[in-house]
Chain A
Amino acid sequence: MLSFNQKINIFKTASLCRNFEEETFKHVKDKKIKIPIYLSAGQEYISSTISNLTQELKINPLIFGQHRCHSIYISFGGNISKLINELLGSSQGCTYGMGGSASIHSKKINMYGHDGHMGTQAPIGVGACFASKKPTIVFLGDASAEEDYVLGALGWASTKNLPIVFIIEDNNLSILTKKKIRRNWHMHDVGKAFKIKSYDIKDNPEEIYKHKSKFFKQPLLLNINTNRIFWHSGAGQDSDKTFDRHKNEMKKLGKKAEDIDQNNKKKIAKLWQNHLEKQLKR
Chain B
Amino acid sequence: MAKSLRETIKEITRTHLRRNKGIVLGQCLTAVGWVGGTLPKLYEKDGMIELSMADVAGGGIVVGAGLMGKRPIYVIRYQGFNWYNAPIILNYACKSKEIWKVPCPILIRGIAMEGGIGPVAGSSHHSLYFRMPGITIFSPMSPQEYKFIYKYFLKNDDVIYVSEHRSSFDNTLALTDKLHGRCDIVIFAISITRFEVTEVKKMLKKKNINIGVANIFWIKPFKIKSLWIDKLKKSKYGGLVLDDDYDSGIAKSIANDLNLKSGKKVFTLGLKNKSAGASKQKDNLPPSSKEIIKKIESIIALITKK
Contact = CB atoms under 8 A, between A and B. Distances in A.
A116 B72 contact: no
A115 to B, nearest CB: 4
Nearest to B23: A131
- State the majority secondary structure of interface residues on B: helix
A231 interface: no
B92 interface: yes
Contacts of A155: 52, 54, 57
Nearest to B99: A98
B91 A123 contact: no
Given A115-B92, A117-B91, A124-B92, A107 B64 contact: no
Interface in A57-115: 95-96, 98-99, 103, 105, 107, 112-113, 115
A123 B64 contact: yes
Interface in A113-142: 113, 115-117, 120, 122-132
B60 A124 contact: yes
B56 A127 contact: no
Interface string B165-207: 0000000000000000000000000000000000000000000
A46 interface: no
A117 B61 contact: no
B101 A131 contact: no
B100 A126 contact: no
Interface of B: 23, 49, 51-52, 54, 56-68, 70, 72, 87-88, 91-92, 95-96, 98-102
Interface residues of A, number: 33
B95 A153 contact: no
Given A112-B102, A153-B54, A159-B52, 13 more contacts: A96-B101, A120-B88, A120-B92, A124-B61, A126-B57, A127-B62, A127-B65, A128-B65, A130-B64, A131-B64, A150-B57, A155-B52, A155-B57
Contacts of B62: 127
Nearest to B56: A149
B87 A117 contact: yes
B63 A123 contact: yes
Interface string A145-188: 00011111101100100000000000000000000000000000
B168 to A, nearest CB: 30
A131 B60 contact: no
Contacts of A120: 60, 88, 91-92
A127 B63 contact: yes
Given A115-B92, A152-B58, A153-B57, A126 B99 contact: no
